Structure 1
Amino acid sequence: MVLSVSLTGCAAIGAEAGYGARSSASGTATASAQASGAPSTTEVERGQTSTGAKTSGASGSAQLPGLGPRTLAQVPRNTRQVVLVTGDGKDSSTSHVALYRRTDAGWKPGATWPAHNARNGWTNDHHVGDHRSPIGVFTLTDAGGLLADPGSKLPYSQSSGFTISGTGFKGEPLVGSFDYVVAIDYNRRPGTSPLDWTRPLGAAKGGGIWLHVDHGGPTHGCVSVAQEHMKELLRTLDPDQHPVIVMGNAECLAR
């Protein structure tokens, strides 16, 4: 089952949040994905609960740090891998990422990595161009990148459509940002390449929010970590473990 849940009970933080298969942090960035019909500007924000998705409630999830009962309730019962992205503040573009796996003894953490999110921080009502990352719990079902599959357990689509150029918000080069990506299932069709441009919630709600390689600056809406950490995620996230990403600023996730 596919889960896409936004934490709508958390007060709205901003108008939108976004990022795309075309640009990773700069409105001037370009990618060959645009020429192939892939999204020109993408993002991710508020999602919808999937039909029939069963969530865990607080029981069994209490060891995921910093998460309040409402957030914990969105983690599916069958999920055994959680990518936890905790933003440093509602208007901050920096965050940290940790991968947790569920064991018989509870949730076991992996290493914590520095990360970037959208330039303007976080929102639970994302729209195109707001430069904020979506708050919520989203499934992780598909991966891809410009480079060859490094051993991904998720379905992996290698394509020149992940080529990107230009500079980010701090003037940093964006080349290589999409060498490896994991699609976040916000306003997209699971089971397809991250480059798929289907937007079930409509184009205004954005799409194409990914985990991808960090380029040293804020994103338009995605979450980025170092290349070695992206490779580790790709080799670890397992469809049989029903992985999800829990993402947002710390204050909102704690509710």
Structure 2
Amino acid sequence: MRPRAAALASAAALVLAATAIGAAPGTSPPLPDRMADTGGGTQLITAQAVRTGSTTGTVTWWDRRGGRWVKSGSAAARFGAKGLTEGGSRKQGTNTTPTGLFRLPYAFGIKAAPPGTDYPYRRVTKNSWWCQDNDSRSYNRWTQPRPADCRAAESEHLITYDTQYAHALLIGFNYDRPVRGRGAGIFLHVNGRGATAGCVSVSGDAMRRILRWAEPDRRPHMAIGTQSGATAITRY
């Protein structure tokens, strides 16, 4: 085959390959298609930062339709004041956002659920606490009221965060089998004044859009990571 003919054949093969995976020629597949795991559902939220030292990035929510991942929305995001760190080795109190792939057990908020919300939603009251006391049997759990073995100084009184917890989603980090000292109370919530203490935050409008979008029957998960390196979001 002549060199020009070979080049044309190679270009045609690249076009066919891109078409086969649902990507336009010259573009990479959607982020979820490049991930090791998306949780097995048909909805996914990705929270991606440039590097582990970043305190800002992008949250994107995706739907799987017709065998393809399609972006349904995105928003600017904030991460921990000390950046991001591998979830499996994170230490409590480090102001870092854990990386990994997590389920989203339920939503909650000081305000009523946005109209159109189908996701399980708990309303915050003056008796609602999130226990972060490593010595408590209620570690990394919503408690109402706060149990005697969960010190107030080691917990969050949810109603006092009227801006951040107007609407929120629980990120299932260290939740199913809590490891003491790894961290508690990691949420996707509304932006406060700046970087978070380890959560992921977005604007109030974006948070409401996400809650209206999320469908429990479609088993949405959330992946948090960086663009590359050991904590690359594509590794999860």
For the superposition of Structure 1 and Structure 2, which TM-score range results when normalised by the shorter chain?
0.5 to 0.7
Whether the aligned pair in 1 keeps the contact of 2:42 and 2:219 (CA below 8 Å) is yes
Aligned to 2:97: 133
For residues 220 and 67 of structure 2, what CA distance do their matches in structure 1 show? Answer: 18
Aligned to 1:218: 195
Aligned: 1:253 with 2:233: yes
Distance change >3 Å, CA 64–CA 138, structure 1 → 2? farther
Whether the aligned pair in 1 keeps the contact of 2:32 and 2:69 (CA below 8 Å) is no
Q: Superposition RMSD on alpha carbons, in Å?
A: 2.1
For residues 228 and 66 of structure 1, what CA distance do their matches in structure 2 show? Answer: 24
AA aligned opposite 1:243: P
Question: Which has the greater radius of gyration?
Answer: 2
Larger relative contact order (CA 8 Å, sep ≥ 6): 1
For residues 107 and 73 of structure 2, what CA distance do their matches in structure 1 show? Answer: 21
Aligned: 1:159 with 2:124: yes
Aligned: 1:73 with 2:50: no
Normalising by structure 1, what TM-score?
0.63
The Cα shift of 1:66 comes to 7.6
Whether the aligned pair in 2 keeps the contact of 1:63 and 1:106 (CA below 8 Å) is no
Whether the aligned pair in 2 keeps the contact of 1:80 and 1:241 (CA below 8 Å) is yes
The Cα shift of 1:90 comes to 1.0
By percentage of residues, which structure has more helix?
2
Give the % identical residues: 26
Aligned to 2:64: 102
Runs (5+) with no aligned partner, structure 1: 1-58, 166-174, 190-199
- 1:79-228 equivalence runs, <5 A: 79-124=41-86, 125-151=89-115, 152-160=117-125, 161=128, 162-164=158-160, 175-189=162-176, 200-228=177-205
For residues 204 and 139 of structure 1, what CA distance do their matches in structure 2 show? Answer: 20
Whether the aligned pair in 2 keeps the contact of 1:141 and 1:154 (CA below 8 Å) is no
The Cα shift of 1:249 comes to 1.5
Aligned to 2:30: 64
Question: What are the Cα deviations for residues 98-123 of structure 1, in whole angstroms up to 9, with x where unaligned?
Answer: 11100114011023210101011111
Instruction: Give the aligned length.
Output: 173
The Cα shift of 1:130 comes to 1.3
Normalising by structure 2, what TM-score?
0.68
Runs of 4+, deviation exceeding 3 Å: none
- 1:235-254 equivalence runs, <5 A: 235-251=212-228, 252-254=232-234
AA aligned opposite 1:212: H
The Cα shift of 1:238 comes to 0.7
